[in-house]
Chains A and B, each alone.
Chain A
Amino acid sequence: MAEYKMLEIGEVKERLAEIKGRFNLPLTGQDKAFIDRAYRRVFGHDVPNKKSGCSNCYKDAFIVLFNQVKTMAKLPKPSDYALKNGVVYQVPFSGAAFVGDVPNEVAEQILAKFPNKISMFARYPEDWEKRAKKSSKKAAKTDKTDKADEQPEPNVEQPTDGEPTGGEPTEPSESGEADKQPKGE
């Protein structure tokens, strides 16, 4: 029967101790998959440098993970979102890719833009739609605030005398008003 359980601290410690016992041997694919999973759960991000094909990154990660876990009484709370086995989500225009657990904020940003991607998730909270919409509104607010701080580049050619003759206003007063406007559903 298929297993369906979260990682527990006891299991992690036991498995890491077992790997430690044969640390002088090469790590197996299953060892690496376990280290991937445990590392992400403990530290919230992937094993560093693993994409660059480094030969020792998993062993280095194991040492860091082992030393961290031995001081812990329990594992950090897992993310509310996890991708189905076999699914990799690649963040566009970034080198980041997720398998398994996805940080809440990342998952909600994905689902805000692509709600149909919920089918790729094996674990998600019941109120994911509400959380994704909230994340979308928060992102829109942050985006407007960032734009208000930016000096917009002129979108017209500079005249030969060096003085700009067009372009967007540098004081967008919409950002404050946008917060007050009711959002249509």
Chain B
Amino acid sequence: MAECDWAIAQNIAEDCDNPQTRGLEADGIIINRKDIDFASCVKDPTNPNIVKTLALKTGTKGYSVAQSGATPFTGTQTAFAAGTYRNKFNKDVQFVVLDHSADAAHNIIDQLANGSFVLVLKNNYNGSDGKSKYEIVGYESGTRQTEGTRDPYGDADGGWIVKLQEVAPTSAIFLFDTDESTTDSAVASLLTPAP
């Protein structure tokens, strides 16, 4: 097995024409990790941090995560995590479930508590070529719930604030295929009822 060669390969600079911007869009997608057809997923051969095809198993679909407010998915962050033999990244995704109902409890909250999930989030910053628009969290080892709170008098108005975390070897995995329009179509198809 080859030794890993850790070496920077790009200048650290700002793109003045397309400066980095903060934030996430209010619509994301959550997928049960067991519904990902990894055998059919394709990575970009030139960059292992890009997934070109995120395929779902036959008969499965993703579910939308719609957030409200000026800073959707507040609490979402990625942080370096020192490891014993290899350092990693803790990727946290936080969102609110503004629905405290029997259906939500059964179909969402109870499932989030013990399942493994993959999320597709949309960055406000798309990059000059659209490659930075969609980010996948949970592709490498799945996200699992680490926090969950429901306060009847809290900011979520009685709903849930949930945090999922993935401990991953990479800082970010992006979803991009060919161009922004093609990728938009692929992402939209994750939500359609299975063909």
**Chain A interfacial positions (CB closer than 8 Å to B):** 2-6, 28-30, 32-34, 36-37, 50-51, 53, 82-88, 90, 97, 99-101, 119-120, 122-123
Size of the B side of the interface (Cβ < 8 Å), in residues, is 30
Interchain CB contact under 8 A, A83 and B195: yes
C-alpha spacing A17/B89, complex, angstroms: 46
B54, A86: Cβ atoms under 8 Å?
yes
What 4 additional pairs, Cβ within 8 angstroms, besides A85-B189, A86-B189, A119-B40? Answer: A2-B60, A29-B188, A84-B56, A122-B58
What's the least CB distance linking B192 to chain A, in Å? Answer: 5
Residues of A within 8 A of B60 (CB): 2, 85
* A-facing residues in B127-150 (Cβ within 8 Å): none
Interface SS of chain A: helix, strand, loop or mixed? mixed
**Complex Cα gap A30–B65 (Å):** 11
List, in ascending order, chain B residues with CB within 8 A of A84's CB: 37, 40, 55-58, 195
CA distance A122 to B60 in the complex (A): 10
Stretch from B78-86, B156-164, B178-186 at the A interface: B178-186
CB within 8 Å for A85 and B27 given contacts A30-B64, A97-B182, A122-B59: no
Q: Which residues of A contact B182 (CB under 8 A)?
A: 88, 90, 97
- The answer to whether A87 and B178 have CB atoms under 8 Å apart is no
